[in-house]
Amino acid sequence: MSEDSDDLVKAQNEVIGILFEVVKRLQENIDLQDEGVHLIIKSKDDDLEDNRTRLDEITEVRNKNSETISRLLKKLDSEESN
């Protein structure tokens, strides 16, 4: 019984860790999106090119976070199926 309990605790800790990472990356994406919107709003048509590099960086990081979130949720789903 104790071994089953230990396995359950380990599984719960892994799920909590995965969900924590998902929430952390979702929050980062929200913050980055907010920053991107602010850059676009404060930029005039001529100044938008000045912010293009940062906007491209934001997009890249958001895409990487989204891929990681997807991978983590798939891992969670596959572990749930087992």
pLDDT 10s per residue in the chain (82 long)?
A: 688 888 889 989 999 999 999 999 999 999 999 999 998 888 876 677 778 889 999 999 999 999 999 999 999 888 666 6
The model's pTM = 0.81
Indicate the domain borders of the chain. Answer: 2-77
DSSP the chain: -HHHHHHHHHHHHHHHHHHHHHHHHHHHHHHHHHHHHHHHHH--TTTHHHHHHHHHHHHHHHHHHHHHHHHHHHHHHHHHH-
